[in-house]
């Protein structure tokens, strides 16, 4: 049962300080939702919350490290205590690790799994439980069944497009996609929708802020700037991803590829897996 509009809704967005998270928070606020803008960078989250007040229903900022289970427990409890169980949760916070598998060390894996996968797991588990409990605590009316809420997990076209250049990133995003599919089946009986959003290349700072494990520091910096310029040249703004997220919530979509390469790679992964394996051998750095 899709959420048809957001007037009066409470939306939690992680990684809301910049990029897709900020654009999504502002889009939801513009459609009438009150936004909980969460980010490890509190000043950035505060700027998003302040902007949300100028475009719509407003918001409030929280500082949280999504990879920290205790911090996420406290965050979820604070949201419920200060507000209530959310109607929408967008698990967006993410980082990139670029480089070959053999050069990616345990600390690099801990960092990216902590944010990209555990962050999504924590958000789904804690806020999903709040949504579930709210639905089953209220009497259900056949003519107007209780709406449980909607969870959006930001995966990536990398979830179904392997590449030798991003093994850690692809692995975590593939896990987010599968988790979303499993949760969608489990939470449907509680009228909680779950969507995995899979953007292709988007003009954000994820590449500039990423970790590079190949070569010396000078080589890594060259890769960083080259990748950042490529994303800027692609010129697909995060606001367009936010539009797709809003539409996905309204229509209760299961998986949403975004932009040309997102759709193309998704189609190729379904009709020609062998082609995807060939493409995976090409370095994108």
Residue 33 lies in a domain: yes
Residue 133 lies in a domain: yes
Q: Does position 2 have pLDDT exceeding 50, yes or no?
A: no
Domain range enclosing 39: 10-259+266-279
Residue 3 lies in a domain: no
Q: What is the CATH number of the domain that holds 44?
A: 3.40.50.720
Work out the pLDDT band at 142, boundaries 50, 70, 90: low
* Of the listed ranges 8-17, 69-78, 227-236, the one predicted with least confidence: 227-236
Over residues 34-45, the mean pLDDT reads 98
User: Each residue of 26-36: pLDDT tens digit?
Assistant: 999 999 999 99
Work out the pLDDT band at 220, boundaries 50, 70, 90: confident
Would you say 92 and 15 are in contact if contact means Cβ atoms under 8 Å apart? yes
pTM assigned to the model: 0.94
Please tell me the distance from the alpha carbon of residue 226 to that of residue 208, in angstroms, as a whole number.
9
Work out the pLDDT band at 144, boundaries 50, 70, 90: low
Residue 206 lies in a domain: yes
Please tell me the distance from the alpha carbon of residue 141 to that of residue 132, in angstroms, as a whole number.
16
Residue 114 lies in a domain: yes
By C-alpha distance, which of 80, 90, 83 is closest to 26? 90
Over residues 9-35, the mean pLDDT reads 97
Domain total in the chain: 1
Q: Does position 3 have pLDDT exceeding 60, yes or no?
A: no
List, by residue number, the catalytic residues. 169
Task: Provide the angle, in degrees to the nearest 10, between the axes of the packed helices 42-55 and 19-30.
Answer: 30
Residue 243 lies in a domain: yes
Mean pLDDT, rounded, of the chain: 93
Residue 2 lies in a domain: no
User: Each residue of 194-208: pLDDT tens digit?
Assistant: 999 999 999 999 988
Residue 1 lies in a domain: no
Work out the pLDDT band at 230, boundaries 50, 70, 90: confident
Work out the pLDDT band at 4, boundaries 50, 70, 90: very low
């Amino acid at each position: 049962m899709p959420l048809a509009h957001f007037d009066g809704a409470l939306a939690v967005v992680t990684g809301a300080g910049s990029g897709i998270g900020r654009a999504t928070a502002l889009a939801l606020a513009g459609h009438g939702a009150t936004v909980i803008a969460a980010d490890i960078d509190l000043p950035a989250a505060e700027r998003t919350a302040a902007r949300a007040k100028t475009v719509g229903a407003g918001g409030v900022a929280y500082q949280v490290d999504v990879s920290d289970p205790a911090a996420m427990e406290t965050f979820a409890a604070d949201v419920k205590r200060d507000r209530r169980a959310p109607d929408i949760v967008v698990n967006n916070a993410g980082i990139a690790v670029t480089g070959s598998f053999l050069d990616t060390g345990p600390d690099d894996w801990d960092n990216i799994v902590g944010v990209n996968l555990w962050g999504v797991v924590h958000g789904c588990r804690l806020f999903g439980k709040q949504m579930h409990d709210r639905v089953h605590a209220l009497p259900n009316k056949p003519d107007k069944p209780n709406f449980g809420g909607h969870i959006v997990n930001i995966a990536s076209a990398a979830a179904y497009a392997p590449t030798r250049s991003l093994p850690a990133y692809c692995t975590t995003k593939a896990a987010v996609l599968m988790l979303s599919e499993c949760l969608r089946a489990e939470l449907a009986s509680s009228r909680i929708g779950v969507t995995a959003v899979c953007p292709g290349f988007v003009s954000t700072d994820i590449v500039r802020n990423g970790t590079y494990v190949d070569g010396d520091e000078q080589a890594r910096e060259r890769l960083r700037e080259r990748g950042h310029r490529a994303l800027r040249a692609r010129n697909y703004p995060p606001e367009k991803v936010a539009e797709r997220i809003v539409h996905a919530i309204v229509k209760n979509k299961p998986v949403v590829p975004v932009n040309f390469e997102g759709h193309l790679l998704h189609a190729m992964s379904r009709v020609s897996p062998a082609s995807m394996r060939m493409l995976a051998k090409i370095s994108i750095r």
